[in-house]
A and B are shown apart, each in its own frame.
Chain A
Amino acid sequence: MKGKKGPLLFFIAPFGLLFAAFYLAPIGYAIKQSLYKIERQGTFGKAQEVFGGLEQYTRVFSDGPFWESIGRVLLFGIVQVPVMLGVALALALLLDSGLVKGKAFFRLAFFVPYAVPGVVAAIMWGFLYSPNLSPFTALTGNVDLLSADFVLWSMANVVTWIYVGYNMLIIYSSLLAIPQEVYEAARMDGAGALRTAWAIKIPLVMPAIVLTTVFSIIGTLQLLAEPAVFRTFSSAVTSTYTPNLTVYSTSSIPNFNLAAAFSVVLALATCLLSFGFLKLTQRGADK
């Protein structure tokens, strides 16, 4: 036993150290910050950080715009995540079906948008949406895609465009892992391509779909780049449009303590939703 601990430690230490330094320590620091508040004397008095208990959290829970923004991203997620994953699944099945020629090309082509940095993608789409700059004036001249009614879905389109290929790839690689014998058995039983997709492939890649869903829920709650960029283009995107934008605005006041409290609450909400979703799907699997 003694001889085994040395090598184990040797291999775990690099990860453990980095994990502690860049993950656990910042979280701990954020939680600590969220429990403090500022006190000062006079209009330009020196600020002092004193323990404030849950004071920042009472602010967070009574902050209307913050909870409104949580509601907004939830609505976004309920619509955008199924659409995006539906398309990703369809593309993955198509690539896997043998109907498509030039598989390698399409696999790369679907994935390319993910290689475009999120901010650049948002700026690019912002131009496409702008009424006077868009090459599609027939559309943008009649429908203001950046107005309050549409801007959330305009952003959903950008997010979908970026991440469809990424999610497709995860699902596709999971499809490739399905043993050929299963297909053979299905063929023997007389299943066609559609039947195989529906009854064999989709159930077998369910874990990958669940995983991508969880990633997407997390990504949705943490939307930042798209609304931050669209803020300059659109009069409908406010400084508290998404929860992460609120965190950003608060920390640039600067009010680090309140920003930390917002972040902790947002992280907890994200955990809750992700684990909630996992629990739900696992219960389904047990039946």
Chain B
Amino acid sequence: MRPPMRSLSILLTSALAVTLAACSSGSDDSTDEATGGAASCAPASGNVELTYTTWIPGIEDVVKLWNDKNPNIQVKVQTGPNGNGGTYANFFNQLKAGNAPDLGHIEYDALPSFRVQDGLTNLASCSEVTAAKDQFVDWTWGQVTFGEENSVYGIPQDTGPMALFYRKDLFEKNNIPVPTTWEEYAAAAEKVKTAGGYITNFSQSDISQFAGLSWQAGGRWFSNDGSKWTVNFQDDNTKKVADYWQDLISKKLVSSVPPWTTEWDNAYNKGNAWTWVSAVWGANSIMSGAPDTSGKWAVAPMPQWTAGGTSAGNWGGSSTAVFKSSKHPYEAAKFALWLNTSEEALTALNKAAQLYPATKAGATLPALTEGVEFYGGQKIYEVFATASTQVAADFAWGPTMTDTYASASDGFKAVVSGTGTLNDALKTAQEKTVATLKSQSIPVAE
């Protein structure tokens, strides 16, 4: 091959990196409406077709219920990987390219990111939406309104109130009392270690669990006074949680298998990890990840920081949001309300994907008041229903959570590999988050 040809092929291949970042095409002027003002919410005159992107397994059957009854408003479902697994990146690209779907599945922690990118329709002018406020668990409404008047950026869908999953058989066999406080939990951890197990697996790369633990303890990571953001992963309550888990990690009382891997499933299936402080949807994760342990688990309220306390954290939970580019916010909102408040939809969602509804009435769905065989017939959802009422309403997420999670997770990973402490990692994550906000010209207090 002659040199000139070679140079050409190098040129061709070497700039692959450039094309990677350039997949989105520009139509930056698609969003000329000022933020803050709610979009008009008028019904369309003719038939409407909506597109809806989500990663709920089995969603097609649920949407079919709607499509059969609403010939004028047909919803087309697109499914993808979970949010941080790729769907959010797709949404951001679609928003930039001006071809986002009408409706999208967005977790509470990602809502601010989409709002700050000017991607969401404010549904506050849809009277049906504002009228539905009281149907939802209070804190979920705070998540979709950002605690502001005249703003609704999504319809709450499901929640993740947290509790303690524990191996009832192993605790009983080894005479370990079920911990009700974090102090007792640490004491139990020592006994579990003696018995040859780990009390739990510390989630090194999924920071949302740590966020849920901090939420319970009273940590507040972000606040927003309208003119600027405050980022604080160093308040006393968050520090308390970080020090607590650092202690368990240093004493090697917890394992640190990467979460959401087969290896992690294996740790629970083989009985290496005895408890998991997790959200309501965790019930399903254990069932699918640790099938050999059927009948051996039970659920207790989350351990408390003070004896007799009654506060719970939340891990996960989603909303259905209407993207700014949607031409039919009225119909989109109508569908989202049906999906997330009607008994038929909530029952179907729970059946298809074990979603735990964000509505107050949802807690009394037949499926959520029955005993669950995998958990020895315990009515586990009652524990979560109580927890749901104990979640503080004023926890806010930041506008670049993908980046915050990545930075914190980089640090946490180093900790379980033996470098630094959780507090150091949080401090670095805070600095990086502030830098990221600045690079996006988002006003932030130093």
- Which A residues contact B (CB, under 8 angstroms)? 22-23, 26-27, 29-31, 33, 37-40, 42-47, 49, 59, 127, 130-133, 147-148, 207, 210-211, 214-215, 218, 221-222, 231-240, 243-244, 247-249, 251-256, 258-260, 262-264, 266-267, 270-271, 274-275, 278, 282
Contacts and interface: CB of A to CB of B under 8 A. Distances in A.
A239 B11 contact: no
B117 interface: yes
Given A27-B18, A249-B403, A254-B92, 10 more contacts: A26-B18, A38-B440, A47-B441, A49-B28, A211-B1, A238-B414, A254-B89, A271-B10, A274-B10, A275-B10
B17 A222 contact: yes
B228 interface: yes
A59 B438 CA distance: 11
Contacts of A253: 113, 400, 402-403, 436, 440
Nearest to B12: A23
Chain B contact residues: over half helix, strand or loop, or mixed? Answer: helix
A45 B403 contact: no
B17 A247 contact: yes
B443 A43 contact: yes
A233 B261 contact: yes
Interface residues of B, number: 72
Given A214-B6, A247-B21, A239 B406 contact: yes
Most chain B beta-carbon contacts within 10 A, residue among A247, A253, A255? A253
B260 interface: yes
B1 A207 contact: yes
Contact of B17 (A37, A266, A274): A266
Contacts of A254: 89, 92-93, 96, 117
Interface string B206-247: 000000000000000000111111000000000000000000
A267 B6 contact: no
Interface of B: 1, 3, 6-7, 10-26, 28, 31, 34-36, 88-89, 92-93, 96, 112-113, 115-118, 204-205, 224-229, 256-258, 260-263, 266-267, 399-400, 402-403, 406-407, 409-410, 413-414, 416-417, 436, 439-443
Nearest to B418: A148
Given A27-B19, A207-B1, A256-B24, A235 B258 contact: yes
Nearest to A243: B17
A238 B413 contact: yes
Contact of A23 (B19, B23, B92, B440): B19
